[in-house]
């Protein structure tokens, strides 16, 4: 049985389960924010998401699975990673979004 590709709706459902998350937009695309800070958005190409990610975790993820996790020159100096929706496993989303959520949350609220 072929797996269904992950869509932004899947990302949205997982992200909205986290505390204090609100929907918004960023660069005219759907986004999720915690306390007003972006932690994930649909990339304007519509086939990937931009996920907030500490630099050290980003490097680990890109080394482990470069087809799924990558950056472009634009994101090199930002604590973000691009995630291919056609490659990412749905069961990886909860942990991925929790890391992004913690990275965007104020320090005193990082209990998720």
pLDDT tens per residue across span 14-67: 999 999 999 999 999 999 999 999 999 999 999 999 999 999 999 999 999 999
Q: What is the dihedral of CA 86, 45, 59, 35, to 10 degrees?
A: -100
The domain defined by 8-105 carries CATH number 3.90.1150.30: yes
66 — phi, psi (to 5°)? -70, -15
The residue behind tokens 């269904």 is 4
pLDDT tier at 112, thresholds 50, 70, 90: low
- Nearest CA to 36 among 111, 112, 109? 109
The residue behind tokens 């304007």 is 44
DSSP assignment, residue 46? S
Q: Tell me the domain boundaries of the chain.
A: 8-105
> HSE on the CB side for 25, CA within 13 Å?
4
pLDDT of residue 31: 98
């Amino acid at each position: 049985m072929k797996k269904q590709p992950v869509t932004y709706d899947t990302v949205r459902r997982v992200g909205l389960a986290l505390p204090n998350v609100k929907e918004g937009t960023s660069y005219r695309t759907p986004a999720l924010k915690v306390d007003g800070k972006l932690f994930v958005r649909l990339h304007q190409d519509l086939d990937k998401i931009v996920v907030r990610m500490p630099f050290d975790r980003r490097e680990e993820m890109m080394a482990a699975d470069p087809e799924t996790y990558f950056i472009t020159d634009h994101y090199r100096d930002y604590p973000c990673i691009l995630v291919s929706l056609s490659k990412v496993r749905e069961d990886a989303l909860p942990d991925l979004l929790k890391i992004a959520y913690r990275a965007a949350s104020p320090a005193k609220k990082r209990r998720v």
